[in-house]
Amino acid sequence: METITINGTNDECFSSAAKALREGRLVAFPTETVYGLGANALDPQAVRRIFESKGRPLDNPLIVHIANISQLEPLVKEIPDRAEALIRAFWPGPLTLVMKKSELVPDEITAGLDTVAVRMPDNPVALRLIEEAGVPVAAPSANLSGRPSPTTYQHVLEDLNGRIEYIINGGPCKIGVESTVLDITSETPVILRPGGVTMEMLETVIGKVETDAVLKPEDGKKPRSPGMKYRHYSPNAEMFLVEGESEEVVRKINLLTSENSAKGLRTGVLSSLENKDRYTAQVVVNIGSLSCLEEVASKLYNALRKFDEEKVDIIYSESFTEKGMGRAIMNRLRKAASGKISVP
Ligand code: TXA
Ligand code: MG
């Protein structure tokens, strides 16, 4: 299969991609978070092809994307009161709401759960595509399963060229980490995946929210969001997250770098702007200032892919404060890492 890349501003090509999507083919498209791999959510066969082309485990359910509120009602049993407040505050935007599903939603999307995850993306190309296709669009991130999520159309090409029909180029994604997944079926809403809408932002609208046990895996509870149990977002080289006081972190990483060099291994460091000139590693990728976590989020996945391009053997990453966007960043880093190193 040949993958056709089209420009989000070319009207004619755009219409053929929207038609292809409606008719059961796969179209990757930009959103404000990451690129999505879209299929007609009402077509079980098209949805199955998403899993095949990404190599995604079948028990990991998909998010359904809509372009207007009238598309929500047919997908869910009811729209809870608190959903309305959240929708008013955050849609279109990086918030996915998990609600009780209707009969219309195929089991292929929900992996047999009785809930469905829905969001309205804040990206003009995505909204127009869904609108023109005239159907709700199931879309996971458009990467091969396990790889870092794509934040540019080139990332999508790297992973899925020849496996899908279309990629729409809409430039780099603004936010750079995936949407927040919020389960609103329980008494107190639960964040199943931290993302573009922070816990603090949610709490100003609906009061207390909880985080899922899976975000602190040590207490051994079963994850409510199946996707969160997999190792994820990973570059090819093994990555270690180094946590501790900044001076000590830099010292430790430089020490490990010289040990690696002695063994002939090439080291990469995921660094904050503040420390980027202090490392001795062969490859140092600056992902932005410790004081601007939005910038760090937007550069994160590109940085992880960069280490693959540079063919490093081992990666060390700095850690970030777990406040605001820092929760999403640290969640992704933990999932990408195969271990952590704590320094005083
Ligand atoms: O920002 C995003 O959310 C991107 C863009 C493309 O919209 N999409 C995305 O999809 O990140 P994906 O498939 O990579 O992640 C979907 C997450 C998974 O962790 C999955 O387990 C969870 O949402 N999920 C989907 N449906 C669910 C449901 N019914 N109950 C609980 N979790 C669900
Ligand atoms: Mg994903």
Residues near 187 by Cβ (< 8 Å), separated by ≥ 6?
Answer: none
Atom of ligand 1 nearest to the CA of 62: 25
Residues near 234 by Cβ (< 8 Å), separated by ≥ 6?
Answer: 146, 147, 148, 304, 335, 336
Q: Which ranges of the chain would DSSP assign to H, the alpha helix?
A: 11-22, 44-54, 81-90, 107-110, 124-133, 153-160, 199-206, 246-262, 293-309, 326-336
Return the biggest CA–CA distance within the chain: 62
Query: In angstroms, rounded to a whole number, what is the distance separating the alpha carbons of residues 131 and 134?
Result: 5
The SS3 of residue 12 is helix
Q: What is the DSSP string of 37-91?
A: EEEETT-HHHHHHHHHHHT--TTS--EEE-SSGGGTGGGBS---HHHHHHHHHH-
Q: Which residues, chain by chain, have CB under 5 Å from ion ligand 2?
A: 141
Atom of ligand 1 nearest to the CA of 121: 7
Query: In angstroms, rounded to a whole number, what is the distance separating the alpha carbons of residues 271 and 275?
Result: 6
Which ligand is in closest contact with the Cα of 230?
1
Query: In angstroms, rounded to a whole number, what is the distance separating the alpha carbons of residues 22 and 27?
Result: 10
Atom of ligand 1 nearest to the CA of 175: 1
- Across the chain, how many H-helices and E-strands are there? 10, 16
Helix axes of 293-309 and 326-336: crossing angle, nearest 10 degrees? 20
pLDDT at 217: 44
The SS3 of residue 225 is coil
What residues are in contact with ligand 1 under a 6 Å CB criterion? 31, 33-34, 36, 60-63, 94, 96, 98, 110, 113, 115-117, 121, 139-141, 178-179, 181, 192-193, 225-228
Rounded to the nearest whole angstrom, what is the distance from the C-alpha of residue 212 to the centroid of ligand 1? 14
Which ligand is in closest contact with the Cα of 96?
1
For ligand 1, atom 12, which residue shows the shortest CA distance? 140
Instruction: Going residue by residue through the chain, which has 344 residues, state the pLDDT in tens, using 9 for 90 and above.
Output: 899 999 988 888 889 999 999 999 999 999 999 999 999 999 999 999 999 999 999 999 999 999 999 999 999 999 998 999 999 999 999 999 999 999 999 999 999 999 999 999 999 999 999 999 999 999 999 999 989 999 999 999 999 999 999 999 999 999 999 999 999 999 899 999 999 999 999 999 999 999 975 444 444 445 566 666 566 778 889 999 999 999 999 999 999 999 999 999 999 999 999 999 999 999 999 999 999 999 999 999 999 999 999 999 999 999 999 999 999 999 999 999 989 999 98
Query: In angstroms, rounded to a whole number, what is the distance separating the alpha carbons of residues 288 and 274?
Result: 8
Mutate to test the pocket of ligand 1, among 54, 141, 173 (most ligand atoms within 8 A of CB): 141
Q: Alpha carbon of 16 to those of 27, 168, 204: distances in Å?
A: 11, 11, 42
pTM score, whole prediction: 0.94
Which ligand is in closest contact with the Cα of 173?
1
Which ligand is in closest contact with the Cα of 109?
1
Q: Nearest CA to 118 among 168, 156, 173, 68?
A: 68
Rounded to the nearest whole angstrom, what is the distance from the C-alpha of residue 62 to the centroid of ligand 1? 5
pLDDT at 229: 59
Q: Alpha carbon of 90 to those of 178, 205, 255, 313: distances in Å?
A: 14, 10, 45, 41
pLDDT at 14: 87
Q: Which domains does the chain have, with CATH numbers?
A: 4-219 (3.90.870.10), 238-342 (3.40.50.11030)
Residue type for 271, please? S
